Amino acid sequence: MELEEQIWGELQRQIDCRGLEIKKGMIQDATFIVAEPGHANQDKLRGDEAKTRRSRDGNWSKKHGKSYFGYKLHTIIDKENELIRRFETTVASVHDSQVDLSEKGEVVYRDKGYFGVEAKGFAATMQRAVRGKPLNIRQIMRNDRISVKRMPCERVYAVTKGVFRAGKVMVTTVKRVNLKMMMTAFCFNLHQMRTLKRKKVIA
């Protein structure tokens, strides 16, 4: 086991010991972590033949018509306490639905990007309209309920990027970005535990 995995595991153990075990479901989402593309061409294939480590790992992705170069942070948080419990770092082109951070027995709330993809836990995934088959009122109302339950995840990314400045990285490999994201998630959890203490959730 890598040292960073031991550190992360110990943090999770201590969170559980404070009485903050997972009880009311999980929220999974992902966000782009941008990097400096240098002279990387969006149409050029990347891989071991790339001349620099930066161009070997980071790659391009597009969302809502906007292009991003770099990586993607996938997280799953405890819905009740808004703590990051698991995470994974990939290159930007990996689709959100390719990463499942849920565990058996957990309810996991996911957006439309995960539609049609099973989870290890019980998937509460927002439904997406398909060609010739729009969503009915019941499906729309269900999506609205899931959307409300997923709102804490937006705050997590707002804090990690706004407070901890983790939205852009200068390191050049997935392994190094993952280490940086682990430290960011670690610090976020300490920040959130202070909030929970202020709210008298924990002593």
Asked whether residue 203 is domain-assigned, the answer is: no
Which alpha helices (H) appear in the chain, and where do they start and end? 3-17, 53-57, 137-162, 174-198
What's the pLDDT tens digit per position in 4-55?
999 999 999 999 999 999 999 999 999 999 998 876 565 554 555 555 555 4
Asked whether residue 134 is domain-assigned, the answer is: yes
> How far is 73 from 157, CA to CA, in rounded Å?
10
Where residue 61 falls among pLDDT bands split at 50, 70, 90?
very high
Residue span of the structural domain in which 132 resides? 3-198
Placement of tokens 């959130």 in the chain:
192
Q: What is the pLDDT of residue 43?
A: 52
Domain tally for the chain? Answer: 1
Taking CA atoms, 115 is separated from 65, 67, 89, 90, in Å, by 20, 22, 21, 20
Asked whether residue 62 is domain-assigned, the answer is: yes
Asked whether residue 98 is domain-assigned, the answer is: yes
- Sign of CA pseudo-dihedral 158, 162, 167, 171: negative
Tell me the whole-structure pTM to 2 decimals: 0.91
What's the pLDDT tens digit per position in 84-136?
999 999 999 999 999 999 999 999 999 999 999 999 999 999 999 989 899 99
